Amino acid sequence: MPARTPLAVRVLLAALLLAAGPAGAQTRVTFGTNWLAEAEHGGFYQALALGFYRRHGLDVTIRQGGPAVNPSLLVAAGITDLQMSPNSFGALNLVREHVPVFAVAAFFQKDPDALIAHPGAGNDTLAAMRGKPIMISATARDGFWQFLRARFGFTDDQIRPYNYSVVPFLADQTAIQQGYVTAEPLQIERRTGEIPVVTLLADNGYASYANLVLVTRKLAAERPETVQAFVDASIEGWQSYLRDDPAPADALIRTANPEMTQDTIDRSRAAIGQHGLAGPGSDLGAMTRARWKSFFDTMVSVGIYPPGMDWEQAFTLAFVQPHGGPAAGLK
């Protein structure tokens, strides 16, 4: 390969060669993300780029999501074998609809959802934002907004539409909008030179996991070794992406999403660590029954889920318990 060949192309070709392997040696699976390729998916791309999936016997294709993609429906319909879900609502909603899909791992221990305000506007806490207009998406209205209603007394008449652009926010010094701590605050700072006020919901009692991996119960029961291999390789990928050189994953991200810049990737990756969303330690992939129960109970209190719903059908710890694996049994 000539030295002048772009790094992104070289890494992509290397990943494809690694994934190919001997004929019939790899189990082919498709993993869907919840958005266009970005640093928030970095560990999965690192596992692909460095051959971790291949080493665990998998030939993984990563299918990008986007604004019109419903991650839960993709895996339920069999379009993806494994699917990234942005929060705990995805799995619980499927239980409510009696769809046999559950979460097998959570790669962000904190949800990146936040509310963003201008400095000096008096909107430095969630309590201070009560009763004020807030720009949120339709998805957020059925998601973290329910937590804000239950815990902080927010009301639906505060809601203003959010179209995933920071332009309306920049035009109004009193504006408040939703965002990921790894994305919109960085865009605002880049355009204004000013660091906005960022209130991370996870630091205020919002117990949702993020970057969950969903699979059908059928896949987990019939091919547990495939699910375990994906979880294990993804943990290795995230450890490497957050601790070592992220360049291999970054190259694949930029190839998959040409509008993504390296500066944005670098800033987002730094924010993942800064806000404690994930780290290269043992919490990668981990979930607990107590955490799921806390989240479910909060949503029951605002009427999102019926009290009698079997919330434990939303997840299994079999693939993330120490020495657990498939042999520990599926709930």
In a domain, 197, yes or no: yes
pLDDT score of 17 more than 80: no
- On whether both 142 and 54 belong to a single domain, the answer is no
Residue after which a domain boundary falls, among 144, 175, 204: 204
- The DSSP-derived string for 120-169 is TSS--SHHHHTTS-EEE-HHHHTTHHHHHHHHH---GGGEEE--S-SHHH
In a domain, 286, yes or no: yes
For 132, other C-beta atoms within 10 Å of its C-beta total 16
Give the pLDDT confidence of 85-114 residue by residue, as tens digits.
Answer: 999 999 999 999 999 999 999 999 999 999
* pLDDT classification of 70: cutoffs 50, 70, 90: confident
Give the pLDDT confidence of 168-218 residue by residue, as tens digits.
Answer: 999 999 999 999 999 999 999 999 999 999 999 999 999 999 999 999 999
State the pTM of this model.
0.87
pLDDT at 69: 82
- On whether both 165 and 249 belong to a single domain, the answer is no
Three-state secondary structure call for residue 76 = helix
The number of distinct structural domains making up the chain is 2
- Computed over every residue of the chain, the mean pLDDT equals 90
In a domain, 60, yes or no: yes
The residue whose two tokens read 């506007």 is 121
- Angstrom distances, CA of residue 201 to CA of 141, 236, 329: 14, 28, 34
In a domain, 2, yes or no: no
Share of the chain above pLDDT 90, in %: 82
Tell me how far apart the 2 most distant CA atoms of the chain are, in Å: 63
* Dist CA 219 CA 316 (whole Å): 13
Contact 306, 87 (CB under 8 A): no
- On whether both 176 and 229 belong to a single domain, the answer is no
- On whether both 157 and 200 belong to a single domain, the answer is yes
- Domain range holding 187? 113-204
- On whether both 136 and 180 belong to a single domain, the answer is yes
Residue after which a domain boundary falls, among 188, 204, 220: 204
Domain holding 239: CATH number? Answer: 3.40.190.10
Q: What is the mean pLDDT of residues 10-39?
A: 70
Three-state secondary structure call for residue 205 = coil
- On whether both 291 and 305 belong to a single domain, the answer is yes
pLDDT at 142: 86
Question: Cβ-count burial of 30 within 10 angstroms (0-12 exposed, 13-18 middle, 19+ buried)?
Answer: middle
Instruction: State the alpha helices, DSSP H only, in the chain.
Output: 7-20, 42-49, 52-55, 71-76, 89-96, 126-129, 138-141, 144-152, 167-170, 184-192, 217-222, 224-243, 247-256, 262-274, 289-301
* Dist CA 151 CA 302 (whole Å): 9
Helices 184-192, 262-274: inter-axial angle, 10-degree rounding: 120
**What phi and psi, each to the nearest 5 degrees, are found at residue 187?**
-65, -45
- On whether both 105 and 117 belong to a single domain, the answer is no
Residue after which a domain boundary falls, among 175, 204, 233: 204
* pLDDT classification of 9: cutoffs 50, 70, 90: very low
pLDDT at 68: 79
Number of H helices, E strands in the chain: 15, 10
pLDDT score of 13 more than 50: no
In a domain, 1, yes or no: no
**What phi and psi, each to the nearest 5 degrees, are found at residue 282?**
-80, -5
The residue whose two tokens read 């434990």 is 312
pLDDT at 322: 59
In a domain, 259, yes or no: yes
